[in-house]
Each structure stands twice: as C-alpha cells, then as structure tokens.
Amino acid sequence: MQANKVLTIEDISYVIKQKVIIENLELTGITAGDIQDTEPIFGEGLGLESVDTIYIVKGIEKEFGMKVDIKKINSLRKHFYSVETLAQYVLSHLQQTK
C-alpha cells in the first residue's frame, strides 16, 4: 500500500479481495468483483477452508503493515467472517495506529 494514503473502507475491501484472497491464495477464474463483501469467506460463502486462515493473516500483515496475533485467532474469528468484517477490522486497526 502507498505510504501516507488515507484508505477508505472500499480501498481496504478491494485489497483484501484482490491481493489477500485472490492473489495470495492463487485463486483462478475469480475476480474481486465476483466476491460479495457480506458473504462468508469460509465454508459455504467463498468456500475457503480454515487452513487458508494463515494465508489470509499473512496477506493482511503484508498489505496493511499490521500484526495479527495468530494465537488469538479464536477471539478474532468474528473479524474473519466476511470481507466486510475483515475490512472493518483492518480500518479500525489502522485508525488506532495513526
């Protein structure tokens, strides 16, 4: 991400879809536009498996320069429900670290 750029929730959602999910997980045949912000990331929604969580965490850390404590993943589970909830989590974290 560009340094000093103020990110909107839409910017964050797009990066999560394109960089963190599609590119990081090497998904083919899907675009960011195909992913609904409110659909579940895991299970019946996007269809990712719990093993993909580590790749999503690493992608979030890389793209947004933040640290996610993987040991606390159970308490963070609600933030990993959908792109929308994940984007809100990232935005909140970025606002706290200004």
8 A C-beta contact, residue 98 and residue 55: no
pLDDT score recorded for residue 4: 56
pLDDT tops 80 at residue 40: yes
| Mean pLDDT for the stretch of residues 45-56 | 89
8 A C-beta contact, residue 24 and residue 86: no
Query: Model confidence over 51-95: pLDDT tens digits?
Result: 898 899 999 999 999 998 878 877 888 999 999 999 999 999 988
User: In 1-98, which ranges are E strands?
Assistant: none
Q: Locate tokens 């998904």: which residue? A: 27
pLDDT score recorded for residue 9: 96
Domain 9-96: CATH architecture, name and number where available: Orthogonal Bundle (1.10)
How do the domains of the chain map onto residue ranges?
A: 9-96
Residue 50 corresponds to which tokens in the numbers above?
């719990």
Q: Which among 76, 59, 9, 75 is positioned nearest to 38, based on CA atoms?
A: 9
